[in-house]
Amino acid sequence: MSLRRMTVPLAGVAACAALLVPPGAAQASPIAAPDALGGAGHGRPAKVPVAEGYGGAVATVDLDASKAALGVLRGGGNAMDAAVAGAATLGVTEPYSAGLAGGGFIVYYDARRKKVITIDGREKAPQAMTETAFQENGAAIPFADAVTSGLSAGVPGSVAQWELALRRYGTISLKQALQPAAEVAERGFVVDQTFYDQTAQNAERFADFTSTAALYLPKGAPPPVGSVFRNPDLAATYRELGRRGSGWLYGGRLGEEIVATVKAPPVRPGSARVVRPGLMTVSDLRAYRALERPPTKVGYGPLDVYGMAPPSSGGSTVGEALKILQALPKVGRHEYLEASRLAFADRNKFVGDPGYVDVPLGELLSDGFAKERACLIGDIAMPHPAAPGSPDGSYDGCQFEGRPIDTGDAAKGGEGATGEQPEGPETTHLVVADRWGNVAAYNITIESTGGNGIVVPGRGFLLNNELTDFTFGPAPGDPNLPAPGKRPRSSMAPTIVFKNGTPVLAVGSPGGATIITTVLQILVNRYEFGMSLPDALAAPRASQRNTAATQAEQAFIDRYGAELTARGHTFTLVPGPPVGEIGAATGLEFLGKGKIQAVAEPSRRGGGSALVLEPAKR
């Protein structure tokens, strides 16, 4: 939410610091409620993109969500507690990117166990979904039709993920983690330009569903910038979910309502929209499980980069591209684009849900494969499309010897198989670090901005359309075709970087398949070009995903276009909306001696919010 663009300043309302006490903890861990209405007055944190300090840190795209997460840290909660509370609050203030009926991936460093774990809360296809579910008469249905449909709604993963995350790694209950979000939903948040724009961009389809129009088009139009938007239905849903637990969704009354909405979307009488019904049943909800999975891990010079394993292609594709770069004698922006092109060719060919597809993950991330792929990179951009490689364990040698990576410690200053589809700005990412050294990098999504456009009547949240991430086909052999119970391939790439076994940096972004290139580019900016993390995030972006032209922001083209065009690259602007922007990243870096730098976007999507617990060392 961009308070910078607020037109009607609201008086800061005094926070009522509701205190919660976790079960079994007597009065040990009070969880402070976030401040009311995101006001920056009264000594409360303001929305800034970079914050440095001690004892814990948070970065999200939104001040209310950052405050909710920080409040949990302040009250004694750990990074996992705060990540869940922040995600639930993003479901209120960024409801078109996140929500309880969506999914996501958490990469988490558990400092006590000295272990990186991941939690897969990816949505699943219903059991009734077959390989041809998104085809009619032997051809793919129009992508736009699938986007706004019951058919594209995956079995939601977020609530199961929150419960598992809190049970295994947190210290507070689901009820406690949902309380800050319920409070923000109840008292409201200030509509900023981003929320207004996203509502306006969705207005036509929102108007076609009675429940969605009633919530997001009050008086028939998007709520104006500067007004206070309240969602009492969502507040009540979060509270009841907290009281009843996840079984209320996974098999209970809330689940029945989700299924009823998916099967018979509340289309406005008289609407001409063809809305395909979904296949989800209550049994699908009952069968859903969030999964703890091992992370991907690649060595990158003295660093170890941990990411999200399949069904996300985030960890494997960022990891492969880094390995390719490491195998090259020198790295500039040309090499960044070429390594990304090759890694996407392999991602598209080999990565899908590992429960259904044999993903050659170890080979994709091996030194031998990286060297073989790196040999294909010359002075001039390679012809389009790059063919996938053969991650088969038998690799041709290469003249490159690799080189040391300078970690720059001194620099503190329905996607098709070809990946040709435009990638929007949807989804969101948050990072949290706590005083014990735990770190969370968490991507959350309902897929399109506005999900499938359908609010569950009376419950205040949108359904996801994550199943449009499947390849629609016909595409024989594609690893990402739909199947019963399968998870669609994701690009989400929450990432934590270690040096000598200690976390040094965490980062992630929204943006569909551009998530991968944004995370990769930030790491390249930071570790190859020696930028500070704030500069690495703010720098202009380009995204090469084995497409003929590289998508780029205008500033990237202005700065590097001539040099790269001379080397055979072509560029196209990001279509948007928002026009011309790639990603909305958040990250944090450990600066040494306990100091943490939390970083969000200075301007993309209206700018994000970084907060630290203690600005100065106590």
Residues that bind ligand GLU (CB under 6 A): 424, 426-427, 445, 447, 466, 469, 490-492, 510-512, 515
Rounded distance between C-alpha atoms, residue 530 and residue 324, angstroms: 19
Shortest distance in whole angstroms from residue 492 CB to ligand GLU: 5
Rounded distance between C-alpha atoms, residue 462 and residue 102, angstroms: 9
Chain centroid, CA 274 distance in Å: 29
Shortest distance in whole angstroms from residue 423 CB to ligand GLU: 6
Residues 6+ apart with CB under 8 A from 373: 320, 324, 327, 339, 342, 343, 346, 389
Q: 3: closest CA among 60, 51, 64?
A: 64
Q: 97: closest CA among 587, 599, 583, 603?
A: 583
Q: Which lies closer to ligand GLU via its Cβ, residue 536 or residue 584?
A: 584
- Looking at residue 426, what DSSP letter applies? -
- Give the number of other Cβ atoms within 10 Å of residue 507's Cβ: 28
Q: Which lies closer to ligand GLU via its Cβ, residue 121 or residue 424?
A: 424
Q: Which lies closer to ligand GLU via its Cβ, residue 120 or residue 304?
A: 120
Q: Token pair 């070009």 is at which residue?
A: 529
Active-site option among 261, 427, 495, 514? 427
Shortest distance in whole angstroms from residue 574 CB to ligand GLU: 13
Shortest distance in whole angstroms from residue 428 CB to ligand GLU: 9
Q: Which lies closer to ligand GLU via its Cβ, residue 170 or residue 508?
A: 508
8 A C-beta contact, residue 95 and residue 462: yes
Rounded distance between C-alpha atoms, residue 405 and residue 575, angstroms: 35
Shortest distance in whole angstroms from residue 152 CB to ligand GLU: 11
Shortest distance in whole angstroms from residue 471 CB to ligand GLU: 13
Rounded distance between C-alpha atoms, residue 557 and residue 561, angstroms: 4
Q: Is 427 a catalytic residue?
A: yes
Rounded distance between C-alpha atoms, residue 410 and residue 500, angstroms: 17
8 A C-beta contact, residue 79 and residue 438: yes
Q: Which lies closer to ligand GLU via its Cβ, residue 423 or residue 589?
A: 423
Rounded distance between C-alpha atoms, residue 450 and residue 423, angstroms: 14
Rounded distance between C-alpha atoms, residue 328 and residue 399, angstroms: 10
Q: CA-CA distances (angstroms) from residue 139 to 142, 316, 352? A: 9, 30, 21
Rounded distance between C-alpha atoms, residue 580 and residue 252, angstroms: 43
Shortest distance in whole angstroms from residue 465 CB to ligand GLU: 9
Half-sphere exposure of 174 (CA within 13 A, CB side): 23
Q: Which lies closer to ligand GLU via its Cβ, residue 381 or residue 513?
A: 513
Q: Which lies closer to ligand GLU via its Cβ, residue 122 or residue 526?
A: 122
- Supply the residues annotated as catalytic: 427
